[in-house]
Structure 1
């Protein structure tokens, strides 16, 4: 239950300042076979949400540092595609509308039944999986089922496991520029040394063209176009 703990597809971020509630929920979702990261304020939640891939993000409305509503807005402005559930004591109709308009996919008020929360999170995860079988890659697509690239002319390019992990990490948030250290954590969690990132950027460019990964000098890499 910590930053960058796994590359599991069932990854969940819990942003909750009530530490006792956060611990209870983290234990509950871990028992339901989720990998859970916890942030106790909005700033830490924003950092994790922008730097790690999550299936679902649960956000309290009243948070230190950055309010939950502002956190959701910032994540959506940075093209974070994770499903977001707001979990809060603010249950008036206007509060629900504000949360959904900010970019939340669901809204559950406290107090709540844990069984209902588990069901809602599972439903959000299924919806994300159903809708995201591929990711735009310039005029082509990254096929998440076949783990290859579909070219604009209909052709396909096979990728190795590490090539796929790297381009997926970049493509899922196309406006984000990643440092080598971030990409090492996201795509190569078992590797040591950031040079592996440069090596696989080279492999991707050799297969898909130099434009598929952009170098942002002084910072790192960003997805480009085929």
Structure 2
């Protein structure tokens, strides 16, 4: 999943970015509202973490502008303790949840995971598709109760596909959601990840949930 992290305090931003990446997120960082607005318009995020007291353009205005321009990804607001008015304004502007500073990283990750799941229509952290079970909290995948050994990128590809079942997902879309903005992207690598996933998911034979649609992309169809 790809996250936009907007925080003007450099040390905190770097700390949060490291924790998010460790938690499996692809992260783009913005130190001010102007950069946040540019990135939010330019890239397809799965979730955003937004401080409100930002230089150049404040967080409330960033949220309002993104919502008016039909950017619907979930937004988690960061606010200072005791500033309940900011929380109310942020939620009314289009934010989906808030977290008060200081906070525990584990809670931040749990809230982000919940926002991503709910935006995709899932209430439980465990997504099941026949014998395939993906735990978005633990980042583990099982097939018929046997855990698979997946690389970070293999997991990200499968997670995105399973959060968007029966949708046609292009290689470009997958590339945009698993790589950060400054990475050297090669969409052909997606074919390699898909090939590995198919072998690992279908090691016992008979499970073929990932369909290739030539010239269009891939579709994950739940298996019985």
Structure 2 residue 65 is matched with structure 1 residue 74 = yes
Alignment correspondent of 1:114: 105
**Matched residue of 1:33: which SS?**
coil
| Structure 1 portions without partners, runs of 5+ | 1-9, 132-143, 149-159, 170-184, 192-202, 205-226
Superposed counterparts of 1:184-203, under 5 Å: 189-190=185-186
- Alignment match of 1:37 (pick from 24, 28, 34): 28
Q: Report how many residues are paired.
A: 143
Alignment correspondent of 1:51: 42
Alignment correspondent of 2:150: none
Could you tell me how far apart the structure 2 residues matched to 1:118 and 1:46 are?
23
The structure 1 segments of at least 4 consecutive aligned residues displaced by more than 6 Å after TM superposition are none
Higher relative contact order (CA 8 A, sep 6+): 2
Q: TM-score, normalised by structure 2?
A: 0.57
- Alignment match of 1:96 (pick from 76, 87, 90): 87
Alignment correspondent of 2:11: 20
Could you tell me how far apart the structure 2 residues matched to 1:122 and 1:51 are?
23
| Structure 2 portions without partners, runs of 5+ | 123-163, 188-214, 217-224
Alignment correspondent of 2:165: 145
Q: TM-score, normalised by structure 1?
A: 0.57
**Matched residue of 2:48: which SS?**
strand
- Alignment match of 2:52 (pick from 61, 86, 89): 61
Could you tell me how far apart the structure 2 residues matched to 1:76 and 1:91 are?
26
- Per-residue CA deviations over 1:55-99 (Å, capped at 9, x if unaligned) read 110111110111011110011011001100111216433222111
Alpha carbons 2:78, 2:100 under 8 Å: kept:
yes
Could you tell me how far apart the structure 1 residues matched to 2:101 and 2:167 are?
40
- Per-residue CA deviations over 1:1-58 (Å, capped at 9, x if unaligned) read xxxxxxxxx1111000000000000000111111111000101011111111111101
**Matched residue of 1:64: which SS?**
coil
**Matched residue of 2:8: which SS?**
coil
